[in-house]
């Protein structure tokens, strides 16, 4: 294809990506937009492939809370059913009634009180079997709350790079030519220092009739900054040393390629280095645009205003 002749042979190949070279073995993009690897693991039992701790730590907050509450409701339904099967007469303190729903409801609330070790004393187990079941449930409740507490702490204490990337990469004016630009910004009250970024271009090309993956290191205007408090636009100058040199808008539309972005920085709050990543396929590259500034001085000139909602705003530009 014609666009293959436009790849600069002087561009620096990146052989340390870990993705290999056989393009026929890959499907879709290398990384998802949220930075996770676009890989589905098979060939082993599901329980051996999943780390429940990592799953619970990484899942969205609403899913995590749903799992916690669902577990709480279901395990109490389980124990309430056993109490009900043993016989409601073995739970002293339940008022006499002919309604099975009332009886089951009382058994459920006794289970909840036992599971949480609250123990109001209104209802108490009678007999060896019911007492053994209540003691077992109390132990399971203690262990469950210990695990839940650990998961809550792990989610709150997990070092996280609170950085947002622009939805699109832009081919924008840069100096006397043009450059590939990607913007990011911290979106929480964090203090990032010693930020470092790396950008890699991956393309599927044909060599001797075989499709192979080629990866190129993209030089950045600035790859390190001392502090990251405002927005940071990563700029790759498209010059004679760039693998994107002489690429046109049509080449981006007709080429299978992906831009991989890796960022790490030091977070004062966690007192630890945090890292994040994302990627942009060539159909997520807008040719002929430039980002709108995100920050400005306040009306009284006393501080700088960072408009987070302008992260993805850009103006069209005709080369």
> Which sequence spans correspond to the domains of the chain?
2-40+160-316, 52-157
Amino acid 99: pLDDT: 86
Of 18-22, 45-49, 118-122, 147-151, the range with the highest mean pLDDT is 147-151
Q: Which fold has domain 52-157?
A: Helix Hairpins (1.10.287)
Amino acid 209: pLDDT: 73
* Percent of the chain scoring above 90 in pLDDT: 56
Band of the pLDDT at 3, cuts 50, 70, 90? Answer: very low
Band of the pLDDT at 145, cuts 50, 70, 90? Answer: very high
255, pLDDT greater than 60: yes
Residues 221-247 have pLDDT tens digits of 999 999 999 999 999 999 988 999 888
Helix and strand totals (H; E) in the chain: 6, 16
User: 3-class DSSP state for residue 281?
Assistant: strand
CA–CA distance, 304 with 146 (Å, rounded to integer): 44
Band of the pLDDT at 254, cuts 50, 70, 90? Answer: confident
Amino acid 230: pLDDT: 93
Amino acid 256: pLDDT: 85
Q: Among 7-16, 131-140, 182-191, which is the least confidently predicted range? A: 7-16
- What is the arithmetic mean of pLDDT over 97-101? 84
CA–CA distance, 112 with 72 (Å, rounded to integer): 8
Amino acid 6: pLDDT: 58
Axis crossing angle, helix 100-115 with helix 128-157, rounded to the nearest 10 = 60
Read off the pTM: 0.80
Query: Cβ distance 257 to 204 under 8 Å?
Result: yes
Query: Cβ distance 316 to 288 under 8 Å?
Result: yes
* Residue 150 neighbours by CB distance under 10 Å: 12
- What is the arithmetic mean of pLDDT over 267-287? 93
CA–CA distance, 38 with 19 (Å, rounded to integer): 11
Strands 285-287, 224-228: pairing kind = unpaired
Of 75-84, 90-99, 295-304, the range with the highest mean pLDDT is 75-84
Q: Is the dihedral of CA 255, 287, 2, 218 positive or negative?
A: negative
Band of the pLDDT at 2, cuts 50, 70, 90? Answer: very low
CA-to-CA dists, residue 61 to 67, 143, 158, angstroms: 10, 22, 13
User: 3-class DSSP state for residue 102?
Assistant: helix
Residue among 11, 23, 297, 319 nearest 179 (CA): 319
User: In terms of DSSP H, where are the helices of the chain?
Assistant: 46-49, 52-58, 61-86, 100-115, 128-157, 249-254
Residues 165-217 have pLDDT tens digits of 999 999 999 988 999 999 999 999 889 999 999 999 988 877 777 777 888 99
Amino acid 24: pLDDT: 60
- What is the arithmetic mean of pLDDT over 82-94? 90
Strands 192-207, 224-228: pairing kind = antiparallel
* Residue 280 neighbours by CB distance under 10 Å: 25
Mean per-residue pLDDT over the chain, rounded: 88
Say which CATH superfamily domain 2-40+160-316 falls into. G protein-activated inward rectifier potassium channel 1 (2.60.40.1400)
9, pLDDT greater than 60: no
């Amino acid at each position: 294809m014609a666009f293959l002749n436009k790849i600069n042979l002087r561009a620096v190949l990146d052989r340390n990506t870990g993705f290999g070279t056989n393009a026929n073995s890959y499907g879709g993009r290398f990384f998802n937009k949220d930075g996770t690897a676009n890989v589905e693991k098979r060939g082993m039992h599901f329980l051996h492939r999943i780390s429940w701790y990592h799953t619970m730590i990484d899942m969205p907050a609403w899913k995590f809370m749903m799992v916690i509450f669902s577990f709480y409701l279901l395990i109490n339904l389980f124990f309430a059913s056993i109490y009900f099967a043993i016989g409601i007469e073995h739970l002293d303190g339940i008022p006499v009634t002919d309604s099975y729903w009332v009886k089951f409801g009382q058994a459920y609330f006794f289970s909840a009180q036992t599971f949480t070790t609250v123990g109001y004393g209104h209802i108490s187990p009678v007999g060896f079997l019911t007492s053994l079941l209540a003691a077992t449930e109390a132990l399971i409740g203690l262990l469950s709350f210990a695990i839940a507490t650990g998961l809550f702490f792990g989610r709150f204490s997990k070092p996280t790079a609170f950085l947002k990337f622009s939805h699109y990469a832009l081919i924008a004016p840069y100096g006397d030519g043009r450059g590939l630009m990607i913007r990011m910004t911290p979106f929480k009250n964090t203090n990032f220092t010693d930020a470092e970024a790396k950008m890699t271009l991956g393309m599927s090309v044909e060599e001797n009739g075989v499709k192979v993956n080629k990866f190129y290191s993209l030089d950045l205007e600035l790859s390190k900054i001392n502090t990251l408090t405002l927005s940071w636009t990563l700029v790759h100058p498209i010059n004679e040393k760039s693998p994107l040199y002489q690429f046109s808008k049509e080449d981006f539309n007709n080429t299978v390629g992906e831009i991989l972005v890796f960022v790490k920085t030091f977070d004062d709050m966690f007192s630890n280095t945090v890292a994040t990543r994302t990627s942009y396929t060539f159909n997520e590259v807008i040719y002929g645009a430039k980002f709108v500034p995100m920050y400005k001085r306040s009306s009284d000139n006393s501080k700088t205003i960072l408009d987070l909602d302008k992260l993805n705003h850009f103006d069209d530009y005709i080369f």
